[in-house]
Amino acid sequence: MNSQHVIVGGGLSGLLMARILKEKQIPFMGLEKSSRLGGRAEWGPHRLLQENSMVRFREMLPEIAWELTQDEVQERVKGEFQPLKDDYLEAERFYLTSSFYSAQVPFESLIERMAAPISESFQLNRSVVKIDGTTKTLSLSDGSEIKFEKLFWCLDLSLLFKLWQGESLVSPKTVKKLSDRPAGLNLTLELESALFPSKNTVVLPFRYKEWKLRALAIPDVNAESQPHRLHWMLFLPKEILEDKEEVAKCIRTLKRELQKEFPEITKKIKSEKIIYLPLISGEGSTQLSSLELTRGVYYLGPQIYQKEEQADLKNIDLLLANAESLRHRELTIST
């Protein structure tokens, strides 16, 4: 099978790339390894810190309203809300800003609307297991192959290097900077009613064995959040994450602490979901001169920034900035 333009990954990055190609009237094939589009859209909270990012979403989905939240972040200690007073990890600080934009619909609903015009161009349950850069061939898990002229990689960057064979990409040493990224858990609670009035993060410090940990409670801020959804983001040291038994004990400890601080929480919970997050919003990025890693192979995601002024951008803000860069490039095949 041949396709001149192939997108690998049907999360937010892949959908943005697909909309760019559709806007340019360039035919493409999209590959998504799971049975649905959207990627991590339903895994935890999503925030835009830059007004330009919100404007770009408005261009794509003018019917969606956005809200600027400016509530102060607080800590919950011994039954009282207090100002922040501790040092935080870089990844945690991403959620401790007092000003951010959020859509007035659940983020997964926003993704569904983004996917609607281009979903027919994606093939689901198609997983890439090898990439031959010399012959420009993708090998899939079902034994089939796809030839490409331009490849748009919209998944984790380290996976691209793992699957790549043939002509060199950028130096692998550059990508190693991305390996020491924060990881942890997202405990999502669906509640009958709000647990606290703040629209911003509430931090719950607690101790697990010798570790001082912090759970970040981040409410979904949208008009359709019924029942009320609350995400508890927990950044964990590798000593805990690499031991499933330790992870389970840590979660039980967190739940006990939640019941101590918020005795009413037990009656409010309708359902819960625990998701392991190998990548968490606020993750680090590295600087490369171009999103084109080798001729005809592009990366789109938040793990690369091209200019120093982008160094402080995180997560979706950086992703959208990179998408704009590709949007203004010539992406057709020269004949």
* Per-residue pLDDT tens over the stretch 96-132: 988 999 998 888 899 999 999 999 999 999 999 999 9
Q: What are the structural domains, with CATH classification, of the chain?
A: 1-64+105-178+284-335 (3.50.50.60), 68-104+184-277 (no CATH)
Question: Per-residue confidence at 172, pLDDT binned at 50, 70, 90?
Answer: low
Question: Per-residue confidence at 54, pLDDT binned at 50, 70, 90?
Answer: very high
Angle ∠(318,296,320) on CA atoms, nearest 5: 15
Q: Is the pLDDT of residue 43 over 80?
A: no
**Cβ(315)–Cβ(283) below 8 Å:** yes
**CA 300/CA 7 separation, integer angstroms:** 10
**Cβ(75)–Cβ(83) below 8 Å:** yes
Average pLDDT, the chain: 89
**CA 79/CA 35 separation, integer angstroms:** 43
In 3D, which of 246, 249, 265 has the Cα closest to residue 204? 265
Who has greater pLDDT, 179 or 134? 134
Predicted confidence at residue 332, as pLDDT, reads 77
- Per-residue pLDDT averaged across 242-264, rounded? 93
Q: Please give the sequence-ordered ranges of beta strands (E in DSSP) within the chain, or none if there are none.
A: 2-8, 29-32, 66-69, 74-77, 80-83, 100-103, 122-124, 128-132, 137-140, 145-153, 164-165, 184-191, 202-208, 211-219, 228-235, 269-277, 286-287, 292-294, 297-299, 304-305
Who has greater pLDDT, 156 or 172? 156
- Per-residue pLDDT averaged across 196-204, rounded? 92
Q: Which amino acid is at 267?
A: K
Share of the chain above pLDDT 70, in %: 92
In 3D, which of 93, 153, 99 has the Cα closest to residue 312? 93
Q: Which range (73-87, 104-118, 172-186) has the least confidence? A: 172-186
Its pTM stands at 0.90
Q: Is the pLDDT of residue 276 over 60?
A: yes
Share of the chain above pLDDT 90, in %: 64
**Cβ(31)–Cβ(60) below 8 Å:** no
**CA 60/CA 250 separation, integer angstroms:** 41
Orientation angle between helical segments 12-23 and 107-115, nearest 10 degrees: 30
- Per-residue pLDDT averaged across 220-241, rounded? 84
Q: Which amino acid is at 9?
A: G
In 3D, which of 244, 189, 242 has the Cα closest to residue 215? 189
Q: Is the pLDDT of residue 173 over 80?
A: no
Question: Per-residue confidence at 261, pLDDT binned at 50, 70, 90?
Answer: very high
Q: Which residues contact 196 (CB under 8 A, 6 or more apart)?
A: 76, 81, 202, 217, 262
Question: Per-residue confidence at 175, pLDDT binned at 50, 70, 90?
Answer: low
